[in-house]
């Protein structure tokens, strides 16, 4: 247990002094710094009774998918306790504090795409390097290459985490609202009509001009959702290939800003800020008909809209402008973890094909393990809630074509600054140029 390791050491030392080394081996569940004995400790990393702590933020769902119980069957001597913080931002603050002080770290720490670049650039030496673990080659072969690379230093020698999920994107939409507006609503037709952002925006204008659509309803939820999807379709998003912020020269930002502000000025957006209560309500109220939809968003929609809207939502097998990714995480093991070997074994098990298949089936997390993604249980999956859409095939196809631009330290804050200003274009009719320069001012506060 990390939180009392100092005291344990003191206690252990005095025990050694008093009774001799024999006693220490006897008390299996109290002292268990296993990194020294990892080599021949079997597949679980240790043969002692061990409690592993897993630091997560509120969106994983390993426990809910039954994986901790399953691991208990594989390794009966291992007990897993989650250490959860709801918001990933709060989680990251806490993780940074603990990394800075070098104490209080869990045996396994989740790393989100929003801060993986920071971990790679500033804390790589504090995490176990997955290129040097005994199973390194086998581990690496499992993942989409880009997923492995995002968690690695630029020389490729150090890798801080093994992937959990990825977020290939398509478009989720309300087929009932499109029908009501007198527009096509079947996924195949829409996939053709929504092939580019220009066509997507044109379709939105038709929706807005329909006399039969519900009053107050708009085509897409927000300009932000257009922007934060389109930005990753460029050669660069927020950073250049060295991982340095480069907003002004990025083709991704330039194009995405043009499409998003176009959508805002054409009035096809509902002007809602994502992840706010008003946005949450709109999944059922019908304030918008479509949004950019990574795999994990399907679960979010289902949770917010509720069972009454089953069959009204659908997924179109297309992403205007080309396939890309939104979100995803890794699991890392701190060098200072109390039970390093056991933690490595757990992370390898969680990243393996079968467990990632389970996480897709039970949690809606699309596998970052490419073998899992090809598994029939993933590839043939359909979603009852989303009008029986073949989501396994849709997202599998998209994830095999995805383009991943470089990421950097401040992507989260930069994206927040830009999408906030898009809200001003939508709701306060700020000119796109003024909004963009306001966003650059805010970004400068972050990058310094």
199, 338 Cβ separation under 8 angstroms = no
* Least distance from another protein to the Cβ atom of residue 39, Å: 29
Q: Quick check: 214 binds another protein (CB under 8 A)?
A: no
- Chain residues 293-352 in contact with another protein, contact rule CB under 8 A: 296-297, 299-306, 308
Q: Which of 28, 41, 70, 104 binds another protein (CB under 8 A)?
A: 104
Q: Quick check: 169 binds another protein (CB under 8 A)?
A: no
SS3 143: strand
Q: Quick check: 235 binds another protein (CB under 8 A)?
A: no
Q: Which of 31, 78, 106, 111 binds another protein (CB under 8 A)?
A: 106
Place of tokens 């309300």: 174
CA dist., res. 325 & res. 228, Å (int): 10
- Chain residues 350-369 in contact with another protein, contact rule CB under 8 A: 363
Q: Which of 100, 141, 374, 377 binds another protein (CB under 8 A)?
A: 100
Q: Quick check: 400 binds another protein (CB under 8 A)?
A: no
320, 200 Cβ separation under 8 angstroms = yes
Q: List, in sequence order, every residue forming a beta bridge with 151; answer none if it has no partner.
A: none
CA dist., res. 137 & res. 126, Å (int): 21
Q: Which of 40, 101, 211, 242 binds another protein (CB under 8 A)?
A: 101
Identity of the residue, 106 or 314, whose beta carbon is nearer to another protein in the bound complex: 106
Q: Which of 188, 276, 388, 437 binds another protein (CB under 8 A)?
A: 276
Identity of the residue, 110 or 183, whose beta carbon is nearer to another protein in the bound complex: 110
Instruction: Kindly give the pairing relationship between strand 325-332 and strand 108-112.
Output: antiparallel
Task: Report residue 258 as tokens.
Answer: 């043009």
Residue-wise burial string across 164-188, b where 16 or more C-beta atoms lie within 10 A, e elsewhere:
bbbbbbbbbbbbbbbebbebebebe
Q: List, in sequence order, every residue forming a beta bridge with 56; answer none if it has no partner.
A: 84
CA distances to 33, 164, 182, 362 from 28, rounded to whole Å, are 10, 31, 69, 35
CB atoms within 10 A of CB 444: 12
Any idea what the Cα angle at residue 207 is, between residues 203 and 209, rounded to 5°? 115
Task: Report residue 438 as tokens.
Answer: 């306001």
* Least distance from another protein to the Cβ atom of residue 96, Å: 5
Q: Which of 93, 188, 209, 380 binds another protein (CB under 8 A)?
A: 93
Q: Quick check: 30 binds another protein (CB under 8 A)?
A: no
Identity of the residue, 115 or 143, whose beta carbon is nearer to another protein in the bound complex: 115
1, 338 Cβ separation under 8 angstroms = yes
Q: Which of 15, 70, 258, 442 binds another protein (CB under 8 A)?
A: 442
Identity of the residue, 320 or 363, whose beta carbon is nearer to another protein in the bound complex: 363
Q: Quick check: 176 binds another protein (CB under 8 A)?
A: no
* Least distance from another protein to the Cβ atom of residue 54, Å: 10
* Least distance from another protein to the Cβ atom of residue 16, Å: 19
Q: Which of 70, 84, 191, 440 binds another protein (CB under 8 A)?
A: 84
Residue 234, C-beta contacts closer than 8 angstroms, at least 6 positions apart: 250, 251, 252, 253, 254, 255, 256, 405
Write a three-state SS string for 73-133: HHCCCEEEEEEEECCHHHHHHHHHHHHHHCCCCCCEEEEEHHHHHHHHHHHHHHECCCCCC
Identity of the residue, 72 or 281, whose beta carbon is nearer to another protein in the bound complex: 281
* Least distance from another protein to the Cβ atom of residue 198, Å: 27
Q: Which of 42, 66, 76, 102 binds another protein (CB under 8 A)?
A: 102
* Least distance from another protein to the Cβ atom of residue 441, Å: 7
Q: Quick check: 131 binds another protein (CB under 8 A)?
A: no
* Least distance from another protein to the Cβ atom of residue 3, Å: 3
Site string for another protein, 36-55 (x = CB under 8 A): -----------------x--
* Least distance from another protein to the Cβ atom of residue 215, Å: 13
């Amino acid at each position: 247990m990390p939180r009392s390791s100092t005291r344990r050491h003191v206690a252990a030392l005095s025990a050694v002094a008093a009774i001799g080394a024999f006693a220490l081996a006897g008390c299996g569940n109290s002292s268990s710094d296993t990194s020294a004995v990892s080599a021949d400790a079997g597949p679980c990393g240790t043969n002692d009774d061990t409690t592993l702590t897993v630091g997560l933020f509120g969106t994983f769902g390993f426990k809910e998918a039954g994986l901790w119980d399953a691991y208990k069957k594989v390794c009966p001597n291992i007990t897993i306790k989650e250490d959860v913080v709801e918001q990933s931002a709060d989680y990251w603050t806490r993780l940074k504090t603990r990394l800075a002080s070098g104490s209080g770290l869990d045996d396994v720490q989740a790393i989100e795409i929003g801060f993986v670049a920071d971990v790679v650039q500033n804390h790589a030496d504090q995490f176990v390097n997955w290129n040097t673990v005994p199973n390194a080659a086998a581990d690496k072969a499992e993942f989409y290459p880009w997923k492995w690379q995002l968690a690695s230093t630029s020389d490729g020698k150090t890798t801080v985490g093994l992937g959990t999920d990825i977020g290939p994107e398509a478009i989720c939409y309300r087929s009932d609202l499109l029908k009501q507006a007198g527009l096509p609503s079947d996924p195949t037709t829409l996939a053709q009509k929504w092939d580019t952002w220009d066509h997507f925006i044109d379709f939105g204008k038709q929706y807005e001009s329909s006399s039969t659509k519900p009053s107050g309803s708009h085509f897409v939820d927000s300009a932000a959702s257009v922007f934060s999807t389109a930005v990753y379709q460029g050669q660069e998003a927020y950073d250049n290939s060295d991982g340095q912020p480069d907003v002004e020269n990025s083709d991704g930002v330039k194009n995405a800003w043009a499409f998003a502000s176009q959508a805002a000025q054409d009035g096809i957006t509902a002007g809602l800020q994502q992840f706010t209560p008003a946005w949450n309500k709109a999944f059922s109220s019908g304030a918008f008909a479509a949004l950019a939809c990574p795999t994990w968003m399907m679960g979010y929609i289902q949770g917010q809209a509720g069972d009454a809207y089953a069959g009204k939502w659908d997924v179109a097998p297309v992403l205007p402008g080309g396939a890309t990714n939104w979100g995803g995480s890794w699991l890392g093991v701190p060098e200072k973890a109390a039970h390093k070997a056991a933690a490595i074994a757990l992370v390898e098990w969680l990243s393996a094909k079968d467990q990632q298949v389970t996480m897709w089936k039970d949690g809606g997390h699309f596998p970052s393990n490419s073998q899992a993604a090809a598994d029939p249980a993933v590839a043939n999956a359909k979603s009852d809630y989303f009008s029986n859409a073949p989501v396994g095939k849709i997202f599998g196809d998209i994830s095999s074509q995805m383009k991943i631009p470089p990421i950097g330290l401040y992507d989260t804050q930069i994206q927040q600054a830009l999408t906030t200003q898009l809200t001003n274009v939508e709701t306060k009719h700020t000119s796109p140029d003024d909004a963009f320069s306001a966003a650059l001012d805010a970004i400068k506060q972050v990058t310094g």
